């Protein structure tokens, strides 16, 4: 099968298209094969490719196959899902540490990593959301704020942030979105009560206090701004980061934590159904062939992409 391998840690040029044997379900009883149609390119893929997690992933040496998100069709039946069902999900790549990611024609997955894709949702849209939308939902769960809380979401122009804005608004919170000023209109349509344009941290805090003079109950920091935003949080509030590498130092009884997205088939099904019903927007910035993975990484690295870049397989 066709895959894209990380041949050595480094820049996008280390990504190479090669052929590998198809995964054999006999090697992992209980797992099922998915024939991929699309794979999302996540920020984590870039960090792993660069070698940033090489020490943490010391058991794994290049060459290996990157990739969390997938959408495709079931080759083997899974509980409640017959062969041929359109499915999407994400491989918990770091926890798995097998280097058998989704930049590949076929992956072998646990049934609880995947959910059926509604007819209304195409494969590229389905591959754009699993890790990001599940992580955004799990971050909100981790915050455990009562309905009606005031919540700041940073990186609101990005993929995880956009989902967090929409899901928090659906949960009945008053959402302040910190994102690109140009996206203000769209972020309001997605449910933000107020939009603070990105800028210097003290301006951002002043902007948040302009909308929430008593400060916010919680922050979900998808832009990894961390400590400079703490003054915007109430005493005893909550601050959840999208990365354990960027968690602020706690002060004034603010609970600080980091979310780690974990596969959850039921939650993913709910999110895909919302997309199918037109109640949750997902955005695909570009669709490129699998073989153009290096170009996809360059585009993600350049930033300012309005949505997920997806590889067609
Ligand atoms: N914990 C988990 O399990 C998990 C799961 C998924 C993602 N993540 C992490 O979550 C983060 C967001 O992921 P994503 O997929 O949403 O990435 P993304 O689409 O690139 O979004 C990040 C957004 O933050 C913006 N940003 C960066 N620095 C900023 C700053 N100082 N102030 C304001 N905005 C800033 C970016 O703008 P520009 O593009 O213009 O720079 C972009 O709009 C990444 O660090 C990713 O690794 C964690």
What are the pLDDT tens digits along the chain (313 aa)?
Answer: 999 999 999 999 999 999 999 999 999 999 999 999 999 999 999 999 999 999 999 889 999 999 999 999 999 999 999 999 999 999 999 999 899 999 999 999 999 999 999 999 999 999 999 999 999 999 999 999 999 999 999 999 999 999 999 999 999 999 999 999 999 999 999 999 999 999 999 999 999 999 999 999 999 999 999 999 999 999 999 999 999 999 999 999 999 999 999 999 999 999 999 999 999 999 999 999 999 999 999 999 999 888 999 999 9
List the beta bridge partners of residue 210: none
C-alpha 221 – ligand 1 centre gap (Å): 9
Length of the chain, please?
Answer: 313
Q: Are residue 86 and residue 197 in the same domain, yes or no?
A: no
Q: Are residue 248 and residue 163 in the same domain, yes or no?
A: yes
C-alpha 157 – ligand 1 centre gap (Å): 8
Q: Are residue 158 and residue 199 in the same domain, yes or no?
A: yes
Q: Are residue 89 and residue 20 in the same domain, yes or no?
A: yes
Distance (Å, whole) CA 260 – CA 308: 19
Asked if residues 254 and 233 have their Cβ atoms less than 8 Å apart, the reply is: yes
C-alpha 174 – ligand 1 centre gap (Å): 21
Q: Are residue 167 and residue 251 in the same domain, yes or no?
A: yes
C-alpha 181 – ligand 1 centre gap (Å): 16
**pLDDT at residue 7, rounded to an integer:** 97
* 15 contacts: CB under 8 Å, gap ≥ 6: 4, 5, 6, 7, 49, 66, 103, 293, 294, 297
**pLDDT at residue 118, rounded to an integer:** 98
Q: Are residue 7 and residue 123 in the same domain, yes or no?
A: yes
Q: Which atom of ligand 1 is the closest one to the Cα of 138?
A: 3
Tell me whether residue 181 is in a domain: yes
* 196 contacts: CB under 8 Å, gap ≥ 6: 152, 176, 177, 178, 204, 207, 208, 210, 211
Q: Are residue 149 and residue 74 in the same domain, yes or no?
A: no
**pLDDT at residue 1, rounded to an integer:** 97
C-alpha 103 – ligand 1 centre gap (Å): 21
Q: Cα 185 to chain center, whole Å?
A: 23
Tell me whether residue 272 is in a domain: no
Q: Are residue 182 and residue 288 in the same domain, yes or no?
A: no
* 206 contacts: CB under 8 Å, gap ≥ 6: none
**pLDDT at residue 183, rounded to an integer:** 95
| CATH code of the domain in which 300 resides | 3.90.180.10
Tell me whether residue 269 is in a domain: no
Tell me whether residue 274 is in a domain: no
State the first-to-last Cα distance of the chain, in angstroms, to the nearest integer.
11
Residue 251 CB neighbours (<10 A):
13
Residue nearest to atom 7 of ligand 1 (CA): 132
**pLDDT at residue 305, rounded to an integer:** 81
Q: Residue 181 is part of which domain span?
A: 132-258
Q: Which atom of ligand 1 is the closest one to the Cα of 43?
A: 47
| CATH code of the domain in which 222 resides | 3.40.50.720
Tell me whether residue 276 is in a domain: no
Q: Are residue 138 and residue 247 in the same domain, yes or no?
A: yes
Please give the tally of structural domains in the chain: 2
Tell me whether residue 273 is in a domain: no
Q: Are residue 19 and residue 73 in the same domain, yes or no?
A: yes
Residue nearest to atom 13 of ligand 1 (CA): 160
For ligand 1, mutation pick of 46, 167, 223 (most atoms within 8 Å of CB):
223
Residue nearest to atom 24 of ligand 1 (CA): 155
Q: Are residue 225 and residue 307 in the same domain, yes or no?
A: no
Residue 205 CB neighbours (<10 A):
21
C-alpha 38 – ligand 1 centre gap (Å): 21
Residues with CB under 6 Å of ligand 1 are 42-44, 131-132, 135, 154-155, 157-161, 178, 198, 222-225, 242-243, 259-261, 303-304
List the beta bridge partners of residue 195: 177
C-alpha 212 – ligand 1 centre gap (Å): 23
Tell me whether residue 278 is in a domain: no
Q: Are residue 114 and residue 166 in the same domain, yes or no?
A: no
**pLDDT at residue 135, rounded to an integer:** 98
**pLDDT at residue 306, rounded to an integer:** 84
Tell me whether residue 265 is in a domain: no
């Amino acid at each position: 099968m066709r895959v894209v391998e990380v041949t050595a840690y480094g820049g996008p040029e280390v990504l190479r298209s090669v052929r590998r044997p198809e995964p054999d379900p006999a090697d992992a009883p209980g797992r099922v094969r998915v024939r991929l149609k699309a794979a999302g390119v996540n920020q984590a893929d870039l960090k792993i490719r660069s070698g940033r997690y090489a020490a943490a992933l010391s058991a794994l040496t290049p060459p290996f196959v990157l990739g969390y998100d997938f959408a495709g069709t079931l080759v083997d039946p899974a509980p409640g899902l017959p062969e041929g069902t359109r499915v999407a999900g994400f491989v918990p790549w770091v926890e798995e540490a097998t280097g058998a990611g989704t930049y590949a024609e076929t992956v072998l997955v646990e049934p609880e990593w995947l959910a059926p894709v509604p007819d209304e949702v195409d494969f590229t849209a389905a591959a754009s959301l699993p890790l990001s939308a599940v992580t955004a939902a799990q971050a909100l769960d981790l915050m455990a704020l009562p309905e009606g809380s005031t919540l700041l979401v940073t990186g609101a122009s990005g993929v995880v942030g956009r989902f967090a804005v929409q899901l928090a608004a659906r949960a009945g919170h008053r959402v302040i979105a910190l994102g690109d000023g140009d996206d203000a209109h769209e972020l309001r349509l997605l449910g933000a009560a107020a939009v603070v344009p990105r800028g210097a941290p003290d301006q951002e805090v002043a902007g948040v206090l302009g909308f929430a003079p008593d400060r916010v109950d919680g922050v979900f920091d998808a832009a990894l701004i961390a400590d400079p935003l703490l003054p915007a949080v109430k005493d005893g509030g909550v601050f959840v980061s999208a990365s354990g590498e960027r968690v602020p130092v706690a002060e004034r009884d603010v609970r600080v934590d980091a979310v780690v997205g974990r596969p959850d088939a039921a939650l993913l099904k709910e999110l895909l159904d919302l997309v199918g019903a037109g109640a949750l927007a997902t955005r695909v910035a570009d669709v490129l062939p699998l073989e153009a993975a290096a170009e996809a990484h360059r585009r993600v690295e350049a930033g300012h992409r309005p949505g997920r870049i997806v590889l067609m397989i």
